[in-house]
Amino acid sequence: MPNNSPLKQYQDLVRANKIRFDDSQQQAVELLQQLYEALQPRNVEATHSAIIKGVYLWGKVGRGKTFLMDLFVNSLPSSLCKRQHFHHFMQDVHRQLKILSGQAEPLKLIAEAFSREYRVLCFDEFFVSDIGDAMLLGNLMQFMFELNIVVVSTSNCAPNELYRNGLQRERFLPAIKAIEQHTNTLQLAGEHDHRHRELTYDQNYFELSEKQSIEQQVVLHQSLLSRFDLKQAVSVERDNTQPNIHENMQDNTINILGREIPYIAQNTQAGEKVICFDFTALCQGPRSHFDYIELAKQFSTILLFNVPPMSGQSYERIKARGTEDNGSNINISAGSTGEREVMLAPMDDAARRFIALVDECYDGNMSLFITAYVPQSELYNSGSLMFEFERTKSRLIEMASVEYRNKPHLTH
- The pLDDT tens digits for 244-282 are 544 444 468 999 988 999 999 998 776 789 999 999 999
Helix intervals (H) in 268-317: 279-283, 289-298
CA 2 to chain centre: 33
The answer, yes or no, to whether residue 181 has pLDDT greater than 90, is: yes
**Burial of residue 255, with CB atoms counted within 10 A of its CB: 0-12 exposed, 13-18 middle, 19 or more buried:** exposed
**Burial of residue 303, with CB atoms counted within 10 A of its CB: 0-12 exposed, 13-18 middle, 19 or more buried:** buried
Question: Is 300 in contact with 366 (CB distance < 8 Å)?
Answer: yes
The Cα 38–Cα 73 span in angstroms is 14
For the chain, which domains are there? 6-194 (3.40.50.300), 198-312+347-405 (3.40.50)
The Cα 222–Cα 371 span in angstroms is 12
The Cα 285–Cα 281 span in angstroms is 6
pLDDT digits (tens, 9 = 90+) for 23-76: 889 999 999 999 999 998 654 455 455 689 999 999 988 788 999 999 999 999
Phi, psi of 213 (to 5 degrees): -80, 165
More confident residue, 287 or 3: 287
Q: How many CA atoms lie within 13 A of 216 on its CB side?
A: 8
Question: Is 244 in contact with 258 (CB distance < 8 Å)?
Answer: no
Measured between its terminal Cα atoms, the distance across the chain in Å is 19
pLDDT digits (tens, 9 = 90+) for 206-226: 999 878 888 889 999 999 999
The Cα 207–Cα 117 span in angstroms is 48
Structural element, H or E, at residue 276: strand 274-278
Cα separations (Å) of 144 from 61, 183, 331? 28, 12, 30
The answer, yes or no, to whether residue 351 has pLDDT greater than 60, is: yes
Structural element, H or E, at residue 302: strand 301-307
| pLDDT recorded at residue 248 | 45
**Burial of residue 356, with CB atoms counted within 10 A of its CB: 0-12 exposed, 13-18 middle, 19 or more buried:** buried
Among candidate residues 216, 379, 358, 357, the one with its CA nearest the CA of residue 307: 379
Angle, alpha carbons 363-167-347 (nearest 5°):
55
Among candidate residues 308, 369, 361, 317, the one with its CA nearest the CA of residue 85: 361
Please name the residues in contact with 383: beta carbons below 8 A apart, sequence gap of 6 or more: 310, 311, 312, 313, 314, 345, 347, 348, 351
Total residues found in the chain within this entry: 412
Q: For the residues 381-410, what does the mean pLDDT come to?
A: 82
| pLDDT recorded at residue 363 | 84
**Burial of residue 90, with CB atoms counted within 10 A of its CB: 0-12 exposed, 13-18 middle, 19 or more buried:** buried
| pLDDT recorded at residue 243 | 47
Strands 259-262 and 253-256: antiparallel
